[in-house]
Amino acid sequence: MNPYVTVDSLEEKTGEWLMRIKSFNSHRMQMKKGKSALLVIDMQDFFLNPASPAFACGGLAILPTLKSLIKAFREARRPVIYTCHVHHPDRIDVGIMGWWWEGMCVEGSAGSKVRGEIAPLPNEKVVFKHRYSAFYNTDLETVLRCLEVKDLVISGIMTNMCCESTARDAYLRDYRVFFLADGTGSVNEEMHLASLLNLAFGFAYVTRAEEIVRELLQ
C-alpha cells in the first residue's frame, strides 16, 4: 500500500488539510515562547519500521520536520519532552490493549528506542507510558507544572491515537494546545484528517511547524 504522505508531498498535503478544516480551526493562538514546550510522541522504531504490525507510514514523512523543530526548541532553550509507549516483557501492564492490538512494543527492546536522528539528549525528559495519552498514569503533568509550561506543541505518532488522546487530556488540564498538521502522522489520510478536524473543533489550534519555529525566533 502506498503511503498517504511522503517527505516530498508533506507541504502540499498540509495545505490541503488546513484548508479542509479551516472553518473549524477558528481558535487561532500565538505561542508564548517562554511558556512553551514541545512534546514528541512515540517516534519509536516499533512504529516507524514498515515490517512492524504497528507501522505508521506518516511517521516517516514527518521525520525531517521534527528534526528541524526539535533543533529550534533546543536553540531557544525550551523543553523538548519525549514519550515512549512500552510494555513489560511479561505483559503485566498490557490489559485490554493486548487483546485489541497485534504486537506490543516491549520496554528495552531495539524497537522501543526513539529514532536515532531525533533521539533525546541525555538531559531531556522521556515519559514512558502504557496507554494512549501521555498524561495517563505518568509524571508528565508534574514535569510541565514544574517547568511552568502553559503552551504545549504536540508532534509525533499516531495522529488519531496517542497524539489526539494527549491533546484532549492537555486541553482538559487547561493547557493551550498547538497541534501540528505537518508534525503528526498516522496510518492513512482519513484518520489523520479526521483528528485534525476533531481537534480544531474542540481542543487545539491546528498549525504548521514553520509557524511554531517563527514564534520561537521572535
Q: State the DSSP string of 86-147.
A: -B-TT-TTTTTHHHHSSS--BTTSGGGSBPGGGPPPTTS-EEEESSSSTTTTSSHHHHHHHT
pLDDT tens per residue across span 44-75: 999 999 999 999 999 999 999 999 999 999 99
Domains for the chain: give ranges and CATH numbers.
Answer: 10-217 (3.40.50.850)
Contact, 58 vs 3, CB < 8 A? yes
Query: What pLDDT score does 103 carry?
Result: 87
Residue corresponding to grid cell 528534526: 67
Indicate if the pLDDT at residue 173 is higher than 80: yes
Side by side, which strands form the sheet with 80-85?
126-129, 80-85, 36-41, 151-157, 176-185, 205-207
At residue 26, the pLDDT reads: 96
Handedness of CA 62, 63, 65, 66 (dihedral sign): positive
pTM, rounded to two decimals: 0.97
> Which amino acid is it at 22?
K
- pLDDT band with cut points at 50, 70 and 90 for residue 192: very high
Give first-to-last CA distance, the chain, whole Å: 42
